[in-house]
Structure formats: structure tokens, C-alpha cells
A and B are shown apart, each in its own frame.
Chain A
């Protein structure tokens, strides 16, 4: 088809505008990456946006970060918390979604309301804090893993997917004498691998980036996840967070490098994961998924 001149001009402009938008989205992240391998002395003097590393490329930031006890422990803590919270969350979500997708469940609507209402109203920050405190859970692993381990939103997404499985499939398993648990593990779960992968990735991203409830419930530094260390290093600019040893001048240079290296280390796993879920985003943000 022939294109008019106006259309051609528009196409070129469109491509350029979108390129600029993409640049703005990527530039700060790229800047941090470049900074993490730049010469620290030149970095401190440089005031602009980094498009490429300046000075000799150095891995010192990463070397120091990976040798730093607090950072390694924080990373390990985060890995443990994310794994356990995601496993618990997935188990709870699958079971709940299966229950709510049973059409003959008598209390189905009441249970759905019980869950959905928590999305609209909650006790608030202080009553929830007092609950955790009264249960003596402050400064325990439980206070980190249990809060928010089940997302009603994810449950509803799973439920919608389970409900769309053909009825005959589940009925056949039931007629063959399989109990609900067996039907769930042998029929429903194997038939829903795609959506299960997506929901677990949603949980992983959520837990990987979460920090607020941990900041309120946990003061014991040995339990800190990576995000709380990051808060001290990059947001509060705390001097003591890293417990680096060395000469004063060297120290402030080192701190600058380590700061950027730690950001890269913390962001990298999510950057690797997300292209895999990208095509499922649409499922995740579709309206009406909660509607019955």
C-alpha cells in the first residue's frame, strides 16, 4: 500500500520519539552499571550521565562487595526468604484457587468475599504491628516470611485459570476415585504449568523487592535482607553499613564503587527473570480478573 508523505514523516518521528522514551527508561540503569565498573576517582569528579564506563574498567567494586560479610549475608538471607515465602505462597494460592474453582463448593462465595475484602480494607499499620509484636514475632524469620506471603490478586488469577480447565477433566479424575488432593496434584497442576510459572515469578519479584514490613519488624542486622542493606547504603548513605576497612581517602572511593556494584547485583536477577514473564504481563494486568 502506498503511504502518503505525512505518514512517512509521522513514522520517522514516532520511531525517534519512542527511542527517546526508551533511552530515558534505560539511561539511569545503564548509568549505574557503567559507574560500577568505572575508575572511582574519575567517577567522583564526573558530573554527567555515563554512557560508557570512564577510566580503566575495574571489577574492584564487585570484588569488594562479594568479599563483604554483610552483603553476602544479606544476599543469602534474601535468597532464603524469597524461596520460602514463594513456596509457602504458591502452596496456599494453589490450594485456595482450586477450592474456589470448585463449582459445587457450598461456601464458595463467602470464602471469595472473605479474601477479596482484605484488598479493600485492613486493620492498618499499627494494629498489624501490634499483632506481630504481641505474638512475639518481632526479630524472627516468621515476621519476614509470613506477612504478605499470600496475595489475593494472585489467587484470583490462578482461580480464573483453573476454572477454565474443562470440567470433564476433573470429573473424570473424581470418578476414577481420586481425592481432591490427588486431583489437584495429578490433574490440575500438570495442566496449568504456564500460569503456575507466572504466578511464582510474580511472587519472586514481589518478595525480592519488598522491604517495608521487614524494616518495621526486624532490627537484628544479621536477619537483614539485601534491600534493607541497600537502603542504608544508597538511600541513607550510611557510612557504617559496609564496615569497610582501609585508608580514609581510599575508603570513600571504595564506598562509591561498592554502592553501584551492590545495586547491580541486587537488580540483575530481576532483569534476567522479567523477559521470561513479559508475554504473560497481559494476563496479570487484565481488568475483571477478580470479577465473578
Chain B
């Protein structure tokens, strides 16, 4: 039976006073660095001026949102964000799962470890270096530009061509995350009971049949969770990478919501209020999507983020 609240508070303070004291700096960090900026969201409804500050800047209501939704940028940014995310989902999921299945079929432990070690490597290369390599390989006369040139007849820089930007972005992402992405599937695969395979072999099932009827069905829950959660974060494209790779000539295909926020808010302009409003639109949609995805995932598979 629960004791009355006052007694519980008294006991908690007596027993855990020092725990709360230890937590003070941590709370200052989270409230200061994460929750205070949430209050700063009011800028989105103001015409914020540095000189006037939060308290004296004039209120403008939903003006910035109306301006954003009415601008040509709104649809373009939305289309690019979805397009890049969907392309990356469509390519990375099958490839990652296939790689995990192939690794799982290896019997030689040392060889498996060797392949894993090498395929995880790109994950630890910094984004700056990856983008530097991408630029180097796709510049006019670069390795990949030349390869593509065999088919198209021109070895111009690929990154400044709007038709290629999204593919380059997705492909370099897959290069970096493919190996690391298999970990979650490999751990699910290692959890499959060997007895199931034993029984299947008794029934005369070959390796292909075993894969089809045991391995893949056992992976389905993991795949569903990963897929649902990935779709829940469909609005978040790695904009830091976009910023490193894009240039004005490919904005029409490369610009996503967060790179636009960065550009008009910090890089080229100082439209603090308008860009905060654009950012807020994205954060809210993100939050709704991830909560929905979590709900769906729990319904479908019993596993969820929280």
C-alpha cells in the first residue's frame, strides 16, 4: 500500500537528497540548453530583433507561417525532403537486410569477422571527410564522374547537376551506414533457436528453404520496427551533409527544410523569426510522425521506442 504523498516526499528527501544534489548540474544543462530554446520558439510569432529581445519585439501572429506556406519554397522543400528520405529507405533497407543475411550464411567465423570489421569502417569516418571524398570522386575528371561519363558521354561534375544530387546523397549515405546497419539484424538473427534449423533439416529442407521459412520470418518483426520508426523520422534528412554537398545550382533538388532554415536564418540572412517558424513547422510534424510511428510499431510488433 502506498503511503501518503507527504510522507513519501519526506522519506525521498531523507534518503535521496544527495542524488538530487548530484543531478543539479545535469538539470541545469538540460533545462538551459534544451528547454530554454523551446521557450525561444515564441520568436516564430514575433518579428524578432536582436536589439529588442524577446520581450520588446513586436508580435505578428501567424504571419511567418502564412508566408512560408504560400511561398514556392514550401512545396519544393517538402518534395525534396520526402524524395530523399524515400529513396534512401527504398535502397538502404533491402541492401542492409541482404548483407545481414549473407553475413549470417557465412560459416567461417574469422572471415565473417573480417568482413564485418571492414564494412563497419565507413561509419567511423567523419561526415566532413565523406563529403570531401564525394566531392573529389564526382568532380569533373573524378573517378565516379569518369565512370558515369562512359554511359552519358560527358564527364562533367556530377554534384552540380540537379539530376544526380539526390542519388549521390543517398548512395554515399548507404556506403557509410550499410555495414553498421546490419548489426541490429545480425543480433536478431543470432537469437533464432538452432533447434528450428535442426528440425527443418530433419524434414529435408535445404538452405534456401531454411532461409525462406525460418530466417526471414524471424527477421520480420525487427524489419517492421525499423521501417516504421524510419518512416516516423522521414522529415529528418541529414541536413549537415546537404549543407556540405549542395550549391546554388542544385537547390531545386537538394534543398530540404532544415538546410533552408540554416541558410536564411544563419548563413545568408538573419531572418531569425521566419526561419524559426519554418523550423517549428518541421519539428511539430516530426513529433507527430514519430509518436504515430511508435504507436503503430507497438500495435504491429509489441516493440516500440517507449
Q: Which residues of A approach B to under 8 Å, CB–CB? A: 4, 6-7, 10-11, 14-15, 17-19, 21-22, 24-26, 28-29, 32, 47-49, 92, 95-96, 98-99, 102, 104-107, 111, 114-116, 118, 120-131, 133-134, 146-147, 149-150, 179-181, 205, 208-209, 211-212, 216, 227, 230-231, 233-235, 237, 263, 266-267, 270-271, 273-275, 278, 281-282, 285-288, 290-292
Main secondary structure of the interface of B (DSSP, over half): helix
Instruction: Evaluate contact between A235 and B122: CB separation under 8 angstroms.
Output: no
B72 at the binding interface (Cβ < 8 Å): no
A124 touching B283 in the complex, CB below 8 Å, given contacts A106-B16, A285-B184: yes
Instruction: Evaluate contact between B306 and A274: CB separation under 8 angstroms.
Output: no
Instruction: Scan residues 226-281 of chain B and give those whose CB is less than 8 A from a CB of chain A.
Output: 240, 244, 258, 261-262, 265-266, 272, 275-276, 279-280
Partner of A230, one of B132, B135, B283: B132
Residues of B within 8 A of A24 (CB): 175
Instruction: Evaluate contact between A227 and B128: CB separation under 8 angstroms.
Output: yes
Instruction: Scan residues 106-135 of chain B and give those whose CB is less than 8 A from a CB of chain A.
Output: 106-107, 111, 114-122, 124-129, 131-133, 135
Q: Can you name the residue of chain A whose Cβ is closest to the Cβ of B139?
A: A237
Instruction: Evaluate contact between B124 and A205: CB separation under 8 angstroms.
Output: yes
Instruction: Evaluate contact between A230 and B117: CB separation under 8 angstroms.
Output: no
B68 at the binding interface (Cβ < 8 Å): no
A285 touching B126 in the complex, CB below 8 Å, given contacts A180-B16, A275-B117: no
Total contacting residues, chain B, CB less than 8 A: 95
Partner of B272, one of A111, A126, A150, A288: A126
Residues of A within 8 A of B27 (CB): 114
Tell me which of B17-25, B73-81, B84-92, B161-169 binds A: B17-25
Q: Can you name the residue of chain B whose Cβ is closest to the Cβ of A24?
A: B175
A274 touching B124 in the complex, CB below 8 Å, given contacts A17-B102, A128-B37: yes
Instruction: Evaluate contact between B121 and A29: CB separation under 8 angstroms.
Output: yes
A179 touching B18 in the complex, CB below 8 Å, given contacts A26-B118, A48-B143, A106-B8: yes
Number of A-B contacts (CB under 8 A): 250
Instruction: Evaluate contact between A230 and B206: CB separation under 8 angstroms.
Output: no
How many angstroms from the CA of A9 to the CA of B291 in the assembled complex?
A: 46
Partner of B287, one of A17, A95, A120, A291: A120
B212 at the binding interface (Cβ < 8 Å): no
Residues of B within 8 A of A21 (CB): 99, 115, 119, 178
A28 touching B34 in the complex, CB below 8 Å, given contacts A124-B276, A126-B261, A271-B121: no
Q: What are 11 A-B pairs with beta-carbon distances under 8 A?
A: A95-B26, A99-B22, A102-B19, A123-B39, A125-B261, A126-B272, A131-B33, A131-B36, A233-B132, A274-B121, A278-B120
Question: What are the nearest 9 A-B pairs in CB distance?
Answer: A123-B37, A234-B132, A127-B40, A124-B279, A209-B126, A106-B12, A127-B37, A118-B34, A22-B118
Instruction: Evaluate contact between A235 and B120: CB separation under 8 angstroms.
Output: no
B97 at the binding interface (Cβ < 8 Å): no
Residues of B within 8 A of A92 (CB): 25-26, 29
- Closest beta carbon of chain A to B303's beta carbon, Å: 6
Instruction: Evaluate contact between A288 and B303: CB separation under 8 angstroms.
Output: yes
Instruction: Evaluate contact between A270 and B207: CB separation under 8 angstroms.
Output: no
Q: Can you name the residue of chain A whose Cβ is closest to the Cβ of B298?
A: A291
Instruction: Evaluate contact between B30 and A118: CB separation under 8 angstroms.
Output: yes
How many angstroms from the CA of A127 to the CA of B280 in the assembled complex?
A: 10
Q: Can you name the residue of chain A whose Cβ is closest to the Cβ of B184?
A: A285
Instruction: Evaluate contact between B38 and A127: CB separation under 8 angstroms.
Output: yes
B63 at the binding interface (Cβ < 8 Å): no
Residues of B within 8 A of A6 (CB): 206, 208
Instruction: Evaluate contact between B127 and A147: CB separation under 8 angstroms.
Output: no
* 0 or 1 for each of B275-302: is its CB under 8 Å from A? (1 = yes): 1100110110011001100000000000
Instruction: Evaluate contact between B124 and A271: CB separation under 8 angstroms.
Output: yes
Residues of A within 8 A of B105 (CB): 10-11, 14
B156 at the binding interface (Cβ < 8 Å): no
A28 touching B133 in the complex, CB below 8 Å, given contacts A7-B207, A126-B266, A126-B276: yes
Residues of B within 8 A of A281 (CB): 120, 180, 183
B9 at the binding interface (Cβ < 8 Å): yes
